Structure 1
Amino acid sequence: MKILAISGSARHNSTNTAMLRAVSFMAPAIFSISVFDQVGALPVFSPDLETDKLPPPVCDFMDQVAASDGLIVSSPEYVRSIPGGLKNAIDWLVSGNLLTTKPIALMHASHRGDDMLVDLRTVFGTVSSNFSYDVFLRFSLMNLTPDQISEVLSDPQNRERIKAFLDSFSLSISERAGVL
């Protein structure tokens, strides 16, 4: 199962990106998880840019989304809301109708951020008929280095939580695809 994990952070040393990378390395073999950490490289969405020749970073991003069986999104909260870079990325995907039926689940790397999560659930629940409200995984990883994040997530109990999350998402994807 091919999953694209989107980090909503434009920060180089993002906690969310580190968490998604760690999860991608410890995922069971049936999952191929790629991490997209380039929301900051996407140009600001404008309908004027929606031509036959989209900007290359947008084309690459859209191709990765289209090739995936589902999306896992993890994002920090900025000013109690969705960061601008992630919202911009979502705008590009909505414009191309790539999210309409794409299965989507959320992860979160902080004990804070509930306002952003409400906003993100509202947006994804609006743009995708396959947003998984009930498939969610949260860790408290703020202020940890990527190595420390990997160490925390490698704990057997946390590995089990990750596996259960991925299994639930896989089941959700399969059910929606009519596989089961």
Structure 2
Amino acid sequence: MKPLNILAISGSLRKLSYNTAAIEALSRLAPKDVTVKVYQGLGDLPLFNPDLENELPAAVRELKSALAQAHGLIIASPEYAHGISGVMKNALDWLVSGEEFVYLPVMLINTSPRASHAQAALREVVTTMSGRIIDNACVSVPLLSSNLDAEGIVQSPEIAGPLLQGLQQFIDAIEAQAEADD
């Protein structure tokens, strides 16, 4: 298999977000032939407006381009008021009408054992958008109140282990699909 490019999006804009730390840790833990690119433009996306789909704003074009170059998508999103964060939902709304997302393998990361509603909502939205959730790659890690940043996660076998195991399952699923498509 050729080198893999995976896009990772944190659904949080918080500077010290556990979701962002988890995907940043994954980008450091990834095998050498796998690039996990952490998307940094979530806060730059304008509010979704279907009237702008013919002349997409630059930030939306950048997101769509990054996704089009990816072999898979990792989403780590917090739960707010029993749902997906507004900025994450906004990003998904911008992607709903494009072909970049269709049948794209998706790995979900949950960083709080209390965040089951957002995970269920993400599953519903991603499935509706024709994304392909790789169930055995989805990971829940207890980062809430851990005070771990990306480096702390990398150094913690209890957290890094499950993340890396999920990533390997994700990579295996992407490669298996590529082989089946050939």
**If the length of structure 1 is used for normalisation, what is the TM-score?**
0.90
Give the SS at the match of 1:101. Answer: coil
Give me the whole-angstrom Cα distance separating, in 2, the residues matched to 1:143 and 1:172.
32
Give me the whole-angstrom Cα distance separating, in 2, the residues matched to 1:162 and 1:77.
19
Name stretches of at least 5 consecutive residues in structure 2 with no aligned partner: none
| Equivalent position of 1:156 in the other structure | 157
Instruction: Give the paired residue count.
Output: 178
2:97 is matched by which residue type in structure 1?
S
The answer to whether structure 1 residue 19 and structure 2 residue 22 are counterparts is: yes
Counterparts in 2 of 1:158 and 1:15: CA distance versus 1, 3 Å: closer
Where do 1:7-86 residues align within 5 Å?
7-51=10-54, 53-86=55-88
Alignment partner of 2:92 out of 76, 90, 93: 90
1:64 is matched by which residue type in structure 2?
A
2:9 is matched by which residue type in structure 1?
I
Q: Could you tell me how far 1:113 is from its partner in structure 2? A: 0.6
CA offset digits 1:75-99 (Å, max 9, x no partner): 0000000111111100111121321
Counterparts in 2 of 1:64 and 1:22: CA distance versus 1, 3 Å: same
Name stretches of at least 5 consecutive residues in structure 1 with no aligned partner: none
Give me the whole-angstrom Cα distance separating, in 1, the residues matched to 2:152 and 2:50.
43
Q: Could you tell me how far 1:145 is from its partner in structure 2? A: 4.0
How large is the Cα RMSD of the aligned pairs? Answer: 1.8
Give me the whole-angstrom Cα distance separating, in 2, the residues matched to 1:13 and 1:156.
21
Contact 1:103 1:128 in 2 (8 A): no
Give me the whole-angstrom Cα distance separating, in 1, the residues matched to 2:163 and 2:131.
24
Structure 1 segments of 4+ aligned residues over 4 angstroms from their partners = none
| Equivalent position of 1:176 in the other structure | 177
**If the length of structure 2 is used for normalisation, what is the TM-score?**
0.89
Counterparts in 2 of 1:92 and 1:17: CA distance versus 1, 3 Å: same
The answer to whether structure 1 residue 166 and structure 2 residue 167 are counterparts is: yes
Q: Could you tell me how far 1:168 is from its partner in structure 2? A: 0.6
Percent identity, please.
35
Contact 1:8 1:37 in 2 (8 A): no
